Copies of this chain bind each other. A is one copy, B any other.
Amino acid sequence: MAETQAPPPSDRVRLRRYRNRGSYEREQIDAILDEALVAHLGIVDADGQPFVLPTMHARLGDIVYCHGSAAGRTLKVLGSGAGVCLTVTLLDGIVFARAVANHGGNYRSVVILGEGRLVTDRDEKLRALEAVVEHITPGRWLEARRPTENELRETSVVALGLEEASAKIRSGPPGDDDADYALDVWAGVVPVHEAFGAPQGCPRLASGIAVPPGVADYSRPPRPRT
């Protein structure tokens, strides 16, 4: 993989190691963020202890939004302007090398550093929640019941800009030491992907309600609904 650098990244997100895996291109960053269903959010508490919590996110232009309960501690730390890190990882393969030391994964990951901004504007909050649901499957925002004012109040939304973001990608066959290629050891890659099963209707689903398009044939990234 060639290293691409435009625009120049900040020193904090510049990769120190495996620099050939680094890519700072927004196209790649956006594609990884848009495909992933789960992000891991890193925050630091008052004692300096890091917490890493899984969350569902959405990108809207240059901003990634996360949401959570307004009563929870996570969103409080997030919205306080403290430094946060949001990381998304898509595992694409398991790399079996000839040497134990060269085993690993093929993956695409994005790391975003920044300061969380608590979204207080009602319109932005609604757009963010819409983005999070549309990130799961396009069209769902208009299909499902949209938030009441109470639900809006009980939900906190935090915005994180993409100014300090970097992508890291590893793909292709294992890399072994020259002398090891002669070894009698199988080497290669087992491809990995997220698979989606047939939708399981809620036991309390009223009769006659069809599975919506985009849910019946779920995929990542989601197909635009026609």
Which residues of A does B touch, CB under 8 Å?
12, 16-17, 37-38, 40-44, 47-54, 56, 69, 71-73, 82-87, 89, 91, 94, 96-101, 103-105, 107, 109, 111, 113, 129, 132-133, 136-137, 140-141, 143-147, 151, 155, 173-174, 180-206, 209-212, 215, 218
Contact = CB atoms under 8 A, between A and B. Distances in A.
A89 B38 contact: yes
A192 B187 contact: no
A97 B215 CA distance: 12
Contacts of A136: 94, 96, 103
Contacts of A151: 99, 101
Secondary structure of the A contact surface, majority rule: mixed
A96 B194 contact: no
Contacts of A211: 186, 188
Nearest to A49: B83
Given A105-B37, A188-B199, A48 B48 contact: yes
| Tally of this chain's copies | 2
Contact of A87 (B54, B105, B191, B202): B54
Contacts of A103: 132-133, 136, 140, 144
A53 B87 contact: yes
A16 B72 contact: yes
A209 B184 contact: yes
A191 B200 contact: yes
A194 to B, nearest CB: 6
Given A173-B204, A194-B195, A209-B184, A141 B100 contact: yes
A190 to B, nearest CB: 5
A85 B185 contact: no
A174 to B, nearest CB: 6
Contacts of A184: 206, 209
Nearest to A99: B145
A83 B48 contact: yes
- Most B CB within 10 A of own CB, among A43, A86, A183, A206: A206
A23 to B, nearest CB: 15
